[in-house]
Amino acid sequence: MGMKSDRVIEIDHLSYDYPDGTSALREIDLEVFRGESIAILGPNGAGKSTLLYHFNGTFIGKGKVVVLGLPLIKENLKEIRRRVGLVFQNPDDQLFCPTVHDDVAFGPLNMGLEEKDIRNRVERALGMVGLPGFERRSAHHLSEGEKKRVALATVLAMDSEILALDEPTDNLDPAGSQALIERIRQIGQTKIIITHHLALAMDLCDRAVFLQAGRKIEDLPMEKLLQNRDLLERFGFDADLAQWMYERKKKAKNQNAK
């Protein structure tokens, strides 16, 4: 893996309590390197989203968080948010403008870019998610799958160095989620993806981080996870399916090598 200078996220002993006193994260350590794709796995309420919200300072907990060399403090939030794109789980939270164009242009506008540059970025981002020409549509007239893709486009238009996605295929039908997975695969940035879908994690990520009750309990390469029956079964994944996916991936890799 990369050198120390390639480290884009550095989290040291991060804890976070909700205002009502519930502890959401406890003593989390995590390092993310440039170009990596990481799957964050774990049961509901394990603190996955809370951790994700720390990557761009939506939440700020106790402990050390350094993003792209910048400590997570108020003065750095503007810069950090420009460089880390966060896609929320519910696209209706992400899309708050009257039209698709306005939503995708929102980030670039806040970055103070020229109008022509903004138009190009909107066009390119919508192209990347496979929805060219959707600029004038309204969010409430889109299907769930289209909403999810526009939500992704809103951060792609910002050219962020890190993408943090909260359950990108949640609520989608199989064809819709497969289409979205293909789109995400083609994005070159560092990716951190919360998911419950092992297939998605295996397809897109090379590392898996497990959270449970606010603690990080595992951090291992994806290939190791697919062969770790105990761990998979403990979290309710189908270990046989994982084994089969692992074999298939290995076969595909070998064929590519030839």
Partner 1 sequence: MRHEFLDHHSGVESPVHHLDPRAKVLVFFSFIFIGVSTPPHSIPVFMILVAGLIGITWVARLPLLHLVKKLLVLLPFLLMVTASIPFMKKDGLAGGYNLGLGGLSLSRSGLWIFWNVLIKSCLGVFSVILLYSTTTFPQLVKGLERLGTPRVFTVLFSFMYRYSFLLVDEIHRMKRARDSRSFGRRWFWQLKTLGHMIGTLFLRSFHRAERVYGAMLSRGYQGTLPGVSLKRFGLGEYLFLMIIPALLVTRLLWG
Name 216's bridge partners: 211
Question: Quick check: 70 and 35 in contact, CB under 8 A?
Answer: no
Q: How far is the CA of 50 from the CAs of 54, 83, 108, 213, 228, in angstroms?
A: 7, 19, 25, 12, 26
Considering only 92, 173, 233, 247, the residue that binds partner 1 (CB under 8 A) is 92
**Contact region for partner 1 (CB under 8 A) — 106-114, 123-131, 205-213, 216-224?**
106-114
Considering only 10, 102, 206, 223, the residue that binds partner 1 (CB under 8 A) is 102
**Contact region for partner 1 (CB under 8 A) — 105-113, 120-128, 213-221, 244-252?**
105-113
Tokens representing 43? 């049961």
Question: Quick check: 1 and 161 in contact, CB under 8 A?
Answer: no
Footprint on residues 158-187 left by partner 1 (CB under 8 A): 158
Q: Which is nearer to partner 1, 83 or 234 (CB)?
A: 83
Q: Is 93 in the site for partner 1 (CB under 8 A)?
A: yes
Question: Quick check: 210 and 41 in contact, CB under 8 A?
Answer: yes
Considering only 60, 70, 111, 239, the residue that binds partner 1 (CB under 8 A) is 111
For residue 57, give the 3-state DSSP assignment. Answer: coil
Considering only 66, 97, 199, 217, the residue that binds partner 1 (CB under 8 A) is 97
Site string for partner 1, 51-80 (x = CB under 8 A): --x--x-x-------------------x--
Burial class (CB in 10 A: 0-12, 13-18, 19+), 199: middle
Q: Is 134 in the site for partner 1 (CB under 8 A)?
A: no
Question: Quick check: 157 and 129 in contact, CB under 8 A?
Answer: no
Q: Kindly list the residues in this chain that would bind partner 1 in the complex (CB under 8 A).
A: 53, 56, 58, 78, 81-82, 85-86, 88, 90, 92-99, 102, 105-107, 109-112, 115, 138-141, 154-155, 158
